[in-house]
Amino acid sequence: MFELERFIEACYVAVDETTPERAAREVVAGAVDDPAAVMKALGEPERAGVNVLHRSDRLTVLNLVWGPEMNLMPHNHNMWAAIGIYTGAEVNTFWRRTEDGLQRLRGKEMGEKEAVWLGETAIHSVTNPLTRLTGALHVYGGDFFAPGRSEWDAETFEEGPYDSEKLKRLFEESNERLEELRASGTA
Ligand SMILES: [Fe+2]
């Protein structure tokens, strides 16, 4: 059974492993292997949003709910991450910095019960390919909200500082879209 406190404890154990990102991926994979248990503990996603389950200097745990067909521009974390899907799907596209700007690498679509890890230098963008909410556990090896992260404009690919207000707006817009879809009976 998924219990948040035990999950966080297991994440802290992973943080001290030699390959924390892989260990954290195992912890996340174990949790999302039983999506019903995760939703029993955290609630079924109702709205898009970044829900902070735990935050310290060494570890951040988010219950990230992506809105229908939501896109998040390329960004980095400056710390390892582990992501697991408990409902819906998430397409991760990976990027790398070059002298000419960002270069697109591969994409990876993840469905329910799948988990991945991302290295400290990873840059990714995220899309929810579905017209319904996607719920994912995101674990980071540090304080995700600490300053110093970058994001890249989705169209110009210009690098700028991570903008938390912009992120809030994106989620608000996504929730408006969700309401519209619900009103028309498609979500
Ligand atoms: Fe991310």
Instruction: Give the chain's largest Cα–Cα span.
Output: 50
Q: pLDDT over 70 for what percent of the chain?
A: 100
Report the 10 Å Cβ neighbour count for 73: 17
97-149 tens-digit pLDDT: 988 889 999 999 999 999 999 999 999 999 999 999 999 999 999 999 999 99
Class of the CATH-defined domain 4-178: mainly beta
pLDDT at 99: 86
Calculate how far, in angstroms, residue 124's C-alpha sits from the geometric centre of ligand 1: 6
Can you give the pTM of this predicted structure? 0.95
11-67 tens-digit pLDDT: 999 999 999 999 999 999 999 999 999 999 999 999 999 999 999 999 999 999 999
Calculate how far, in angstroms, residue 180's C-alpha sits from the geometric centre of ligand 1: 26
Query: What are the sequence ranges of the domains in the chain?
Result: 4-178
Q: In the beta sheet, which residues pair with residue 136? A: 64, 85
Calculate how far, in angstroms, residue 12's C-alpha sits from the geometric centre of ligand 1: 20
Calculate how far, in angstroms, residue 6's C-alpha sits from the geometric centre of ligand 1: 24
